[in-house]
Amino acid sequence: MRKKVLAGNWKMNLNSKQSLALYADISAALSSNKEFDFIVFPPFLHLKELIDSRGFIEIGAQNFHPELNGAFTGEVSVSQIKDIGIQYALIGHSERRTLFKESNSFLKQKVDAAIQHQIRVVFCCGEPLEVRENQDPVMYVTNQLKESLFHLNSEQLKTCMIAYEPIWAIGTGKVATEEQISQMHTAIRNELKSKYGQQIANEISILYGGSCKPSNAKAVFSCENVDGGLIGGASLEPTSFVELSECF
């Protein structure tokens, strides 16, 4: 059966000393638990030194380029993150989609590159406000999955997680209701069942990647088909991150 997952996306925050201190503080406050996967996604600059001091909390990359090498100035390749020991990577995060215009087809390339290099994927999907208000959000999100993730076979998919990010509810003052969260997570689970069967669908963790903090986490994590969280701001404060782990 699938595990509960608490993942922290540190985004473009923290210097080297702060990253090491945050990882150490979280590790000291949490304890290894076979029912949980704990993962943090630090900035590129700090990955190697965190890998060198890694404990039970896994280290993931926020991004990578799918090519092994080449003339891609400023990029970091999938082979380079694999070389330093990275075992998890975010793909399709809303900021990569919206700010850096990463398309479903490009994200498919990244998924394939990660699978080829035995890197576990946390695949992000979610709809913007105009889709939530004027279109079919479930169809929009399931299309992201079909175009970038659902070409994988069953064994490959079992190395992936899915994170639902309601883009319209992140930093906008709008809040996704428990009903909306449950509806989307259940729709994703049903798509998994339709494509891969009930057994595989039951093995895939689906995380909530909206605005989640200790004050609302218990309600969010209690929603149907929510297996954990992909946490932004609250993962930068060790007390908050630990409190989130206690909300399941």
Q: Which residues of 110-129 are buried (b: 16+ CB within 10 A; e: fewer)?
A: bbbbbbebebbbbbbbbbbe
Find all residues with CB under 8 Å of 51, minimum gap 6, and list them: 59, 84, 85, 86
Closest CA to 149 of 178, 114, 118: 114
237 is catalytic: no
Q: In which residue are the tokens 């969280």 written? A: 229
243 is catalytic: no
Closest CA to 51 of 74, 29, 22, 20: 20
In angstroms, the CA 126 to CA 140 distance is: 8
Are the C-beta atoms of residues 2 and 37 closer than 8 Å to each other?
Answer: no
Both tokens of 35, joined, read: 């029912």
Question: 127, 165, 185, 191: which is the annotated catalytic residue?
Answer: 165
Question: 65, 93, 117, 185: which is the annotated catalytic residue?
Answer: 93
Catalytic residues: 93, 165
